[in-house]
Amino acid sequence: PGEVPETGLPEIAFAGRSNVGKSSAINALLGVRGAARVSGRPGRTQAINLFRVDDRLCFVDLPGYGFARVPEAVRLGWKALVEGYLGGREALRLVVVLVDARLPAQDLDRALLSGLDAGGLPRVVVATKADKLSRSRLKPRLAELAGQLGEAEVLPFSSRTRTGVDALWARIRAAAGIG
């Protein structure tokens, strides 16, 4: 984390389990394909990647957690990197926590949220891959996830259909203090 360059811009970080769709969400928000590298194989993002947005803010793509099929030392390295960044970044304004809309809340997601609470870091929880659920199943699923995670609200999101892109941008702009 000590090597992550200072940008002088408000930073918005994207965190969540491996393969949940963090890099895809960044691309969807930017409206650019291929800005952040996406892969069907978990563990694609292995370093902290910064994306400067219009010289007004900076998106921070974090490596995913919970991916077991890498050597323990590598996994612990990612964990230290992510925790070091989240724990000590002056410019960090908001953590976008991504969870999979199809899955029940995971212990690692709860652990991340309580870590953010402890650090007093603002976050917004986003349920991604919402395109995989029918509209009638999505709504109760969001309520269920919110209950399981102890969140007032979980925003639906899909990088495929762009559901939730505008709502998430509104949160990001508010957190970064930009119009």
Residues of this chain that bind Mg ion (CB under 5 A) = 22-23, 44-45
Among 118, 116, 125, 121, which residue's Cα sits nearest to residue 143? 125
**Hey, what amino acid is at 39?**
S
Q: For residue 29, which phi and psi values (nearest 5 degrees)?
A: -65, -40
Among 88, 86, 95, which residue's Cα sits nearest to residue 59? 95
Rounded CA gap, 37 and 91, in Å? Answer: 24
- Examine residue 23 and tell whether it contacts ligand GTP (CB under 6 A): yes
- Examine residue 45 and tell whether it contacts ligand GTP (CB under 6 A): yes
Strand partners, 51: 59
4, 7, 115, 131: which one binds ligand GTP (CB under 6 A): 131
- Examine residue 137 and tell whether it contacts ligand GTP (CB under 6 A): no
- Examine residue 77 and tell whether it contacts ligand GTP (CB under 6 A): no
- Examine residue 33 and tell whether it contacts ligand GTP (CB under 6 A): no
List interacting residues with ligand GTP (CB under 6 A): 16, 18-24, 38-40, 42-45, 63-64, 128-129, 131-132, 158-160
